[in-house]
Structure 1
């Protein structure tokens, strides 16, 4: 059994009334290596291990050689090593034709007119060439002995509904679905939808109200994930994903992620409460929904968003510089664990202050009763 699942199974086998007697499993999203030397990487990884991090979701680009190098150092430090690589967002890659990018309800391609920010260059999940590109990428990395698993991100459509805490930043009110943020309306998606349902999309506004059309696109993402699961599993490795909270309260409605239908080994919902203008109790609510949606059959690691500058949070206009204060971190971990999470994942250890680490140390060694 893979190491990730071995750790998780200890918690899954416990009844709701049984105390957890071991340390909370803790992962961290982290990127690099940049210009860091092997010695610098080793010192950083050993420090994270000593602080209680058990494994990394590591973003280092597409080059297998990078993951081979960094993975070897992470393993020597006693850390699990999972490669964190975006899925549907691939930038403007010379190896990906422009016609493979998703198209919004106004007929605009994410290639040259992406939603929200320039890096939202989403691919269309309904193109087999996209699947082949992603499969080749993930398999080439999953084959590495230094890699414990592949971690998917941006495995979704663009936000048709943006988290409420981000509305002011982008000067938007997203109280309903708008065509410029609604994907994918490419010719293939519309044609395949007609073949499957007999419904021809001629009126975009009418289509946006169609549950069949929403479900069709949710199924496209699910199909992509489950094909990639098979590919990675054939290499004997785990496959996980960072997902939106829920799934049905947020992920399905916001980005078409019906992730309780995905055959992943574990799920890491991004329970970033500040983005939703919520407190730490909301983190617990999301964990409960996640674990119930999966019938307790798959591990859930609660993703926690850390405030990098606690002293100036109240003055910070950009919500992406908000996050959990040191005095909130323990509550967020407790809410996660009491509501069914197997562990937690930090975004990111680089945002953690000394005060965060003090509270983290206290929280991960406590015993929690699952509700």
Structure 2
């Protein structure tokens, strides 16, 4: 049995131990450790375990020593520990030359003119040096006994189409693929595509209508993921990824993520319904699509976006401050589980209010018969 799934298959006794009930496998995306002491981390992780969290997808930069320290504490608290590290977004590091970054349809590099926000400094997946950099980065961390697996993030191109709930935030109407958001048009990508298909990329407006060009870039991402997966599996560790919903309803169209072709141990679609101006039933629809698109042995964990300030959600203009209200959380979990999800993943436990935790506990100790 897949280890990630196996560690989550557990049973708990309720009603004075007289009745046995399945528990929903629950993980959480979490950042840290900041200035937290070992004792503070131990208390935090123990609290999360008691509340029903089974595993952490933990983001703490690139330093293996940090993951060694935090992973040991997480294991003592009874949590599975996976390192959550961005892939194609790597900042402007001294070890990454500017020519390794992706180029948009206007010929602008993500290095000095990124799309949307300053941290969207995406690398080009078609550079061998990029693969070598990432393989070395993940390999050193996967080698740690305190690390159970590598959890990829930003394993994609920039959003050529934003989720509809974000259009107003960026004052955009994304009715087509615009050149400033369409990647990668570097010389190597265009030359390799021509060598493979005989089609020359002349300009973005023309190229955006060529299905082969879209597929070429989807395949670049898939090939890179699968090379990294092979590296991590050779170390006996798991490799998973946060992905966009779908894949075909959203991920492929929005960020070139044809993730059902990736050789990973589990998938974590970010089913953030508010970003898509949808309700909790949409979460179920996305889980159904996701589980139908992958091998039945590969688990899909439904990523749920939590509202940090439920009482002021209606007043918040920024969708980043929206998310599931306490009264919606149970429904989102039910929709996920009844539509094939193997479990759920919270973004993030730090956004959970006391009311959220009450509804969470009610929802995770139920048996959900899949439709």
| Cα separation, 2, equivalents of 1:353 and 1:146 | 30
Q: Distance in 2 between matches of 1:369 and 1:57?
A: 27
Q: Once the 2 structures are TM-superposed, how far is the Cα of residue 21 of structure 1 from its aligned partner? A: 4.2
TM-score (norm 2): 0.96
Q: Distance in 2 between matches of 1:223 and 1:8?
A: 29
Task: Give 3-state SS (helix, strand or coil) of 1:45's partner.
Answer: helix
Q: Which residue of 2 aligns with 1:14?
A: none
Runs (5+) with no aligned partner, structure 1 = 12-19
Does the 8 Å contact 1:8/1:299 carry over to 2?
Answer: no
1:167 offset after TM fit, Å?
0.2
For 1:271-307, what per-residue CA distance to the aligned partner results, in whole angstroms no more than 9, with x for missing partners?
0000000000000000000000014231000000000
Q: Deviations over 1:73-131 (max 9, x none)?
A: 00000000000000000000110000000000000000000000000000000000000
Q: CA deviation at 1:9?
A: 7.4
Q: CA RMSD in A?
A: 1.3
State the SS of the aligned residue for 1:27.
strand
Structure-2 residue corresponding to 1:209: 209
1:60 counterpart residue number: 60
SS of the residue aligned with 1:152?
strand
User: Does structure 2 retain, via aligned residues, the 8 Å contact 1:169–1:318?
Assistant: yes
Could you tell me which residue of structure 2 aligns to residue 168 of structure 1? 168
**Contact 2:105/2:203 (<8 A) preserved:** no
Structure-2 separation of matches of 1:85 and 1:129: 18
Deviation at 1:186, TM superposition (A): 0.1
Return the alpha-carbon distance in structure 2 between the equivalents of residues 364 and 5 of structure 1. Answer: 16
Contact 2:102 2:183 in 1 (8 A): yes
Query: Does structure 1 conserve the Cα–Cα contact (< 8 Å) formed by 2:284 and 2:338?
Result: yes
**Which residue of 1 is the match for residue 255 of structure 2?**
255
Counterpart in the other structure of 1:304? 304
Alpha-carbon contact 2:27-2:57 (below 8 Å) kept? yes
For 2:361 and 2:49, how far apart are their aligned partners in 1?
12
How far has the Cα of 1:63 moved from its partner? 0.2
1:272 is aligned to 272
> What's 2:147 paired with?
147
Q: Residue 183 of structure 1: SS of its match in structure 2?
A: coil
Question: How do 1:83-102 residues align onto structure 2 when only pairs under 5 Å count?
Answer: 83-102=83-102
* 3-state secondary structure, aligned to 2:41: helix
CA deviation profile, 1:238-291 (whole Å, cap 9, x unmatched): 000000000000000000000000000000000000000000000000000000
The aligned residue for residue 125 of structure 1 is 125
- Structure-1-length-normalised TM-score: 0.96
Aligned length: 363
287-296 vs 162-171, which moves further: 287-296
Per-residue CA deviations over 1:144-183 (Å, capped at 9, x if unaligned) read 0000000000000000000000000000001110000000
1:6 deviates by: 1.7
The 1:10–1:189 alpha-carbon spacing in structure 2 relative to 1, beyond 3 Å, is: farther
Counterparts of 1:359 and 1:74 in 2: how far apart (Å)?
A: 25
Q: SS of 2:22's equivalent?
A: coil
